[in-house]
Chains A and B, each alone.
Chain A
Amino acid sequence: MSDPEVLAPAVLDRLAGIGKADIVVGIPSFQNAATIGHVVHAAQTGLAKYFPDLHCVILNSDGGSSDDTAAVVASAGGFDASVVFVSNPVRPIHRFTVPYHGLPGKGSAFRTIFRAADILDARACAVVDADLRSITPEWIHLLVAPIVEETADFVAPYYHRHKFDGTITNNVVYPITRALYGKRVRQPIGGEFGVSRALVRHYLSLPVWETDVARFGVDIWMTTTAICGGYRVCQAFLGAKLHDAKDPGADLAGMLVQVLGTVFTLMETHEDIWQRVHGSEPVPVVGFQYGVGLDPIRVDTGRMIDHYRRGVRDLDPIWRTVFERPTLERLRDLATRTGADFLIDDELWAGLTYDLAVACHRRVSERADLVRAALPLYMGRVASFVIEIAEADAAAVEARIERLCIAFEAQKTTLRSNWADGRR
């Protein structure tokens, strides 16, 4: 069970004062003063509108923001009850900010939220990012209702995103998670989740909160743990996901290490499960699905291909420890191509990803180094994908991603064999 010291005595007193809750909505934050007011407002309205009879708490788990995040949460006004209710009084919704402790990172914020939900004995716990601009009260309903109605233990988000966005999800995390664990969770690192009481307690009971999961990778960890734990999983269609622009100088290599590093660590943890899984099955989606118009994005594939070529030119000594010679020759050949001829096809990409997983399993080098060394390959794949889908509509892009997933599933036999042999 979780260490109760995760929460400060003052917070424990506050929770004791509240006693018990049915729903806890957690909002992890760091420097989100610009957007968190809207998120709190949407959560508050959603809880009041869809769960007026239930006892609800909104908990902001803050990582020491120096802006006005906590003040915005405290002052985020109520809602116009006449807009959302025909009748019925509303139960008061408790709302407060808790600074989280432990290792700095989103995982520690989640731990604080889960611990509070556990103490409050909440039936359902939803977590939403503090930088969301497109969140509506319906999101809370969609994330929480399947849990309250006891039809699911874990609700993953399902968004419409621009066809060029979410490339780590589309090209790596979704295909590999689906192929490994057999569940088609389209946004396994979405950032918004609904979790049942049983699953919250399961999460808290696992000895990961002092590891890297506490820092990063908590999204994929939660999804994978829910699937591997045999919990009922569903997806909630939330429409478009729009959020504050990430820092343009953000370290993409670091992000890749966070996500892929956790995926590969989980492959070690759940080896006995994914080795037995063949194929994949759909995961039910709740919510009315509709088309979403998204602003066009201008993409610079030239920059990505240059990055790929630099990798081919300079990283050969490292890639040789990961990939077989024919694969390396294909990569070198690709570096000479341009335009539509620059194509990292699905079979090659699935093979590269699996080879990287096996190399991490063999520990031929530090995991973070191997993943960072794979960044040029990822950039090449993204450039190739962007070139390929430049004129495609949303449905065609989904069909394209489906073909990629099938390639990952088809090559799983090779992965099993190489993993067992310790060969690349």
Chain B
Amino acid sequence: MNRTESYARLKARRPGIEAAEKEIAPYEAIADLILDARLRARLSQAELARRAGTTQARISEIESGEANTKLETLMRIGEALGAHIDHATLLQALTNLYVTAGSFVPMRTLISTFETEVEDAAVTTRIFYVPADGGLPLFDADNIVVGEAITPVSAFIAPGFITVKDNTLSGGVTLVASNAFSYAPHYSLHGIFAGVSETEDEPNGDEPGTPAETLAETPAAADSNLALAA
């Protein structure tokens, strides 16, 4: 009996599998993207790991949809895969992963990525457009403050647990800039996160045994993708 038929028969007997599929889908999407790109690039897991500054075991885990991996590591892997991976698709998959998992990336993770700009960040206002059909109104779009160099449609924002008051975010958001792979020095993320508490307000913070910079496995109801516009 071929694989598809066997699995369909098992699913018919175990209805819980369908919910499980939805739960693992964001992780598996990342796995498929990276595996497919690595094979097209004709790289071994070990070589990809070397280029991305991680371990072969970690690559293997990611390709199995197993790992709770740091966003930064996933971005480095994307960078190492160069033109063999569709970066926009990867970013969308990462966004879906964070939103679906209800995860939260501490701001310092991203700030540290762009740490050269932290001190000089200019703060200007941009309006994030949340589509009416898929929006997750966790924040007041009119009051989002972002760094000047983040251009419209260059980033995804996955809402975390945030509030907006006096043009300042508290709590946090996950932001993945589309050209973050270049680690371009003109980013001024500090402006976005001015006022964000890095310790007290983070729902998935540094509790023992819960690395703050890894993806939570907790599923959440959120499933929207946010578009960004000027």
Chains A and B bind each other: no
Residues of A within 8 A of B (CB): none
Residues of B within 8 A of A (CB): none
